[in-house]
Amino acid sequence: MSSIKEIGIITKVTSPHADDVMGRLVPWLTERGVKVRMQEDYRGLADVDSTAVSREYVPDGVDLVLVLGGDGTLLSVARLLEGKDKPILGINLGSMGFLTELGLDELFGSLERVLQGEYTVEPRVCLEASLHRDGERIGHYQVLNDVVINKGALARIINLETIVDDQKVTNYQADGLIVSTPTGSTAYCLAAGGPIIEPTMDVIVIAPICPHTLTNRPLVIPGGSRIDLRLISDSGAVFLTLDGQEGTRLNKGDCVRVRASDRKVHLIRTGARNFYEVLSTKLHWGQR
């Protein structure tokens, strides 16, 4: 008998597939005795076994959260779940996705396996970043993918003093710097020339963006490391960005401290495909 009694569904409502998928999915679940909590955008689908609420309340009381969208949607849900230990199953409504690795054609088959208990839960490492200014902590953030410091469009190359566990690494002179989890290694870090890291590994990646010194290459360090990034230069507009979705402007002298978080995001894996199959599919390996 399935231990899944209620599922929360968060959807990228602007997707052209969203309405059709929800129209089929909600009755499919209720027919199988599963209660549904969904965004109020789909209030018209609600009945005695389903509830439409504000997006931030969808995860309350459910056994898992089903995300219909892309990786950006899943990242926003991961932030929404901070403090709530709910597993996430991602279904990709777009063209590219490493977190939402299952396609629409796999939705109902994957859900059938989940309802039968045929799945595993994979914990993913998160990072916590704190912003310090004039000796005071003024910001604290949690990310699943990456912490990025980069310059605005008209800013000059920035100078970032980088220290790992109280040992100076270098002063990166670059367009910016990415500190990435293994999960984030297939996101912005990959586009910046960083390595692909198997997502369950306990490491952190430091990758410069367009470094002025061409010998500055991405660096992989132990997952328990503490990284201090201090903005040395007064280079115009420089920004701290978290998972590509929220951020703040930095001042000269600001320090961003990054380390692994005690929190983990739990992703459901149904065995439909493994990490290397996902890489091969998404990156078109072996094709000409």
The CATH number that applies at residue 152 is: 2.60.200.30
Rounded Cα distance, 131 and 186, in Å: 25
Residues 48 and 173 in one domain: no
pLDDT one digit per residue (tens) for the chain, 288 residues: 468 999 999 999 999 999 999 999 999 999 999 999 999 999 999 887 889 999 999 999 999 999 999 999 999 999 999 888 899 999 998 766 788 878 888 899 999 999 999 999 999 999 999 999 999 999 999 999 999 999 987 768 999 999 999 999 999 999 999 999 999 999 999 999 999 999 999 999 999 999 999 899 999 999 999 999 999 988 789 999 999 999 999 999 999 999 999 999 999 999 877 888 888 888 888 877
What are residue 38's DSSP bridge partners?
Answer: 9, 52
Answer yes or no: is 287 within a domain.
no
The pLDDT value recorded for residue 275 is: 87
Answer yes or no: is 182 within a domain.
yes
Beta-carbon count within 10 A of 208 CB:
24
Supply the range of the domain harboring residue 237: 126-263
Residues 14 and 105 in one domain: yes
Measure the CA angle with vertex 17, ends 15 and 21; round to 5°. 125
The residue annotated as part of the active site, out of 19, 71, 243, 254, is 71
Answer yes or no: is 12 within a domain.
yes
Rounded Cα distance, 54 and 68, in Å: 16
Closest CA to 7 of 77, 61, 62: 62
Which value, to the nearest 10 degrees, does the dihedral of the CA atoms of residues 244, 245, 251, 254 take? -70
Residues 146 and 254 in one domain: yes
Residues 137 and 241 in one domain: yes
Answer yes or no: is 1 within a domain.
no
Contact yes or no for 180/146 (Cβ under 8 A): yes
Residues 107 and 179 in one domain: no
Answer yes or no: is 288 within a domain.
no
Strands (E), the chain: 6-11, 35-39, 50-53, 64-69, 88-92, 102-103, 120-133, 136-143, 146-151, 158-164, 167-174, 176-180, 203-209, 219-222, 226-231, 238-242, 246-249, 255-269
Torsions phi, psi for 186 (to 5 deg): -100, 15
Residues 95 and 220 in one domain: no
* Helix, strand, coil abundance in the chain, percent, nearest 5: 20, 40, 40
Residues 176 and 86 in one domain: no
Residues 59 and 115 in one domain: yes
Answer yes or no: is 174 within a domain.
yes
Answer yes or no: is 113 within a domain.
yes
Rounded Cα distance, 207 and 193, in Å: 8
Closest CA to 78 of 247, 245, 239, 197: 245
Residues 25 and 50 in one domain: yes
Answer yes or no: is 142 within a domain.
yes
Q: How many domains does the chain have?
A: 2
Active site residue 262: no
Residues 249 and 144 in one domain: yes
Residues 64 and 156 in one domain: no
The pLDDT value recorded for residue 1 is: 45
Q: Which CATH number do you get for residue 73?
A: 3.40.50.10330
Closest CA to 274 of 202, 198, 203, 190: 198
> Does an H or E element contain 189, and which?
helix 188-191
Residues 106 and 144 in one domain: no
